[in-house]
């Protein structure tokens, strides 16, 4: 079935081949009982899979998203079905004020934040540098890396000892795809941000890690890549296919849990066999 092209950031409903977010497969075991989490880009893709997994592990979840209201409400429904609280906060993370609003809402609703998942991202595909406008370059950085800094800074006073910050990087931080130049550049920045922040926050008992997914099937793909690239998406991995969001979420669960109490400053690849050395 041909995958219809979409306008970014895309929606699940418009996809011919729906991603697997673990809606019918993820089984929790209480690894995050009583915790609270903020997940940006939580309406679909990796963010939705993480929200579902966190809820089934016992966490209440705030889902920050741009304007994909139907997808976000659907994600919230899965969180609530797991017996946990879901708080929805729409808005553009490119602005400092909204980053502060997301954190303030979480603190008002939950009292504190145990896990901050910086997952929201923006990307577009270009065949030449000349195609990339200054506005797009700036927006990519505002959403992909500047928002992480602003969210962390706003959340610091509400992160207790033992809290976890998890940033979504990408295989592109190590193997940058030239047609994703702005996006790939920010993903390299995220890896360095993670390593440096882990050292700064270690004395406070706050762990900081990143996940580096390879090609994962989400609405971002058919909304930001041309049809010929969508058709071949993920086939160049050793496993020969794109990953599903449900296959990435368990790494976030590990990094959010006490089982990862001595893991900080790491970038964990989930790449279908593509090496990150």
Strands annotated E in 139-206:
164-168
Measured between alpha carbons, how far is 249 from 217 in angstroms, rounded to an integer?
Answer: 13
3-state secondary structure of 81: helix
Catalytic residue check, 183: yes
d(CA 246, CA 19): 8
Distances (CA, A) of 140 to 55, 172, 175, 224, 277: 29, 14, 18, 13, 26
Contact 128, 181 (CB under 8 A): no
How far apart are the C-alpha atoms of 275 and 277, rounded to whole Å?
Answer: 6
Question: Which position among 26, 65, 183, 252 bears the catalytic label?
Answer: 183
What secondary structure, in 3-state letters, does 191-248 show? HHHHHHHHHHHHHHCCEEEEEEECCECCCHHHHHCCHHHHHHCCCCCCCCCCECHHHH
How close are the terminal C-alpha atoms of the chain, in Å? 36
Distance CA 238, CA 41 (A): 28
Active site residues: 183
């Amino acid at each position: 079935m041909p995958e219809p092209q979409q306008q970014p950031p895309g929606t699940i409903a418009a996809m011919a081949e729906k991603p697997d977010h673990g809606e019918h497969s993820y089984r929790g075991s209480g690894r995050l009982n009583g915790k609270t989490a903020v997940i940006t880009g939580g309406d679909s893709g990796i963010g939705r899979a993480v929200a579902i997994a966190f809820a089934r592990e016992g966490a209440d979840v705030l889902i920050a998203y741009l304007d994909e209201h139907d997808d976000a409400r659907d994600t919230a429904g899965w969180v609530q079905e797991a017996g946990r609280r879901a708080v929805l906060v729409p808005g553009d993370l490119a602005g400092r004020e909204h980053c502060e609003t997301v954190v303030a809402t979480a603190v008002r609703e939950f009292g504190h934040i145990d896990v901050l998942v910086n997952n929201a991202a923006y990307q577009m595909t270009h065949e030449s540098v000349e195609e990339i406008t200054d506005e797009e370059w700036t927006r990519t950085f505002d959403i992909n890396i500047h928002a992480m800094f602003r969210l962390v800074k706003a959340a610091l006073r509400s992160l207790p000892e033992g809290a976890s910050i998890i940033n979504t990087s990408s295989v592109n931080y190590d193997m940058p795809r030239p047609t994703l130049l702005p996006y790939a550049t920010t993903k390299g920045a995220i890896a360095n941000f993670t390593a440096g922040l882990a050292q700064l926050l270690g004395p406070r008992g706050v762990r900081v890690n990143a996940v580096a997914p390879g090609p994962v099937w989400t609405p971002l793909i058919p909304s930001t890549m041309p049809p010929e690239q969508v058709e071949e998406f993920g086939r160049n991995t050793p496993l020969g296919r794109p990953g599903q969001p449900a296959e990435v979420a368990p790494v976030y669960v590990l990094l959010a849990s006490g089982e990862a109490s001595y893991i900080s400053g790491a970038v964990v690849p989930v790449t279908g066999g593509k090496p990150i050395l």
